Structure 1
């Protein structure tokens, strides 16, 4: 599948248009499970964009570096 997506924009659009969002806490499916089930939460969907060592990802064929960023906000 990734071989048919030729640019970062095509990969982004594929994920945005084809992977359904599911609300749950933490990562449960990872990149492979999210692609197999075509659904995941924000973390699992994002894992398709990041390439950990020996892990499948839509961007494996591209030469890009990624990092996850998160923030916590406490309201008193």
Structure 2
């Protein structure tokens, strides 16, 4: 297992596909709309975290690109 994780970290650098970008934007906008006047809404930092989580999910599956499935898992 350690070798698998090490290989993924060193060799897999996924790029975000257009479908994934669309999913990230839509998901982020939904998170922002759920915030009310007295609650903390999603911030740009949340979007950055979603991107990192999506990339990590793709890396675990040894994919060279982030797909919509990775974004769904991140959300």
TM over 0.5: no
Higher relative contact order by CA 8 Å / sep ≥ 6: 1 or 2?
A: 2
Report the structure, 1 or 2, having the larger helix content: 2
- Larger C-alpha radius of gyration, 1 or 2? 2
TM norm structure 1:
0.28
TM norm structure 2:
0.28
